[in-house]
Chains A and B, each alone.
Chain A
Amino acid sequence: MRKKTFAAAALLAAATLTLSACGNGKDDKSPVSVVSEESGSGKAATVLDQPFDKPDLVLTDTHGKKYDLRKETQGHPTLVYFGYTHCPDICPTTMSNIAVAKKALPKAEQDNLKVVFVTTDPGRDTPAELGKWLKGIDPQFIGLTGNFATIQAGARSLGISVEPTSKDKNGKLVSVHGTQVIAFSPKTNGGYVLYGEQATVDDYTKDLPKLVQGANP
């Protein structure tokens, strides 16, 4: 019963929330806070009762090669995140947290884990730019770029809202993208665990050994 309530809250949050690169709103009534409260109760992870299907994304990797997400990550524990390299705050922190946590895994499990960063700013994030940026975090991380509408649809299928970077009336840049990390099981290939931007390096270090087995954290 309790678990069901959590899952419902998480799904609501996932479906409606438009977190930016740089944080959540302060409104205590927002769905964002529902997830925050669960995290505050000691767990960064939200296990979903109804897992997401892995998005059917065929994009371009950092070597300029075609990358079929479903095919390439089939049977592998997989973490998917949508962000962009010109993001100063949450994107590098989230990817660095995962990178540091990953190093605590045995070598074989590190190699088996697929961490996929999908850019929400394909105009600036060319395969070369993405590759350079990810190399600075973890050379094993996979970076994908391509058509924005395709990426947006893929994100939307995971309940993650992304918008093209735009300019407001003062000519200042406005960026909107969800900051959730979705973990996909190596057993079912379903996206069954969700992390918000509050997840720390300790949270990932604690949970990755479970996630690589497809177990609940």
Chain B
Amino acid sequence: MQAEAQGRRIVLEIFGFLPVIIFVAVLIYISFNAPNFLTLRNLELVLMQSLPVVLVCAGLAAVVMAGGDDVVSGGIDLSIPATAVLAAGITAQMLSLGYPLALCAAVAFAASMIVGGLNAVLVTRIQMTPLLTTLAMFVAVVGVNNVVTASRRINVDHPWITVLRAQEVGGVPLGILVVALLVAVIFFALHQTRWGLNLQAVGGSRDAAEISGLNVNRFIAQSFILAAFSGFVCGFFILARGSGSSPGVEDNLMLEMVLATFLGAAFSPRRVVTMWGAILGAILVAAISIGFKSMGVNVFWTGLIKGSLIVLVVAFSAISQRVR
């Protein structure tokens, strides 16, 4: 029976790795078919493109770590992309009306915190499931953004925002440095502090955390606030990437966020959602998007392929959870 359990474990490990294997295979396929794909210039482009996704993934990873990685009943925050788009929309609209950037950012920050706070209250006080709560919040917040921006594109050319895209420091784009710094701070908080370890304990086993004297709801609420903050920062990167705010960005962002975060679990030695995993996942997903584009794949097909990959990733994670 021992040897058999061992064998089952090995099969399980392979299953856990399958999403990564599939992704790497797709990337290799792309690099053979799009000759420019593996150049340094192009990889920098991939990184730049992935920045908004990396930010929201960091936020989502915190929520999943605090709420548990069960896709249906565990922690999830689908509203982060909507928060990001709202922050971008508010900033763009107020800039176009001539307000100073600091004031725009303050209002956008306040709006983001309201979204995060509402999520936290609905989930911890009213005890709604995070999936439904944040999906509803996503729809509502996108609605608010449509009202704010009248659902049209607003150009932004404020130097403090374009600098995120155009400026380089020591040969590295400033945007990448800023995100790297933020990610490092969040990583330290989640993995190297007592607070972060306790937050992970809450997600790993609510009962265990409660018995150890941790205030479970406080950690879950904090994770939603952190997620909203990541959405707020992401808003500025959306403005920088698109030279303004345009409607419809949130759909793709949500898709890539969920895909990347849960794909990331396959990178973690413990097979759970982690910060690093989510970020690596975000970069991989961006690489695939750009890869398909440079191969000249029809944009409609890209959606189908991404959707299928989500199904695959979630299915594999479900299988390995069940067998465990």
Interaction A to B: no
B interface list, Cβ under 8 A from A: none
A interface list, Cβ under 8 A from B: none
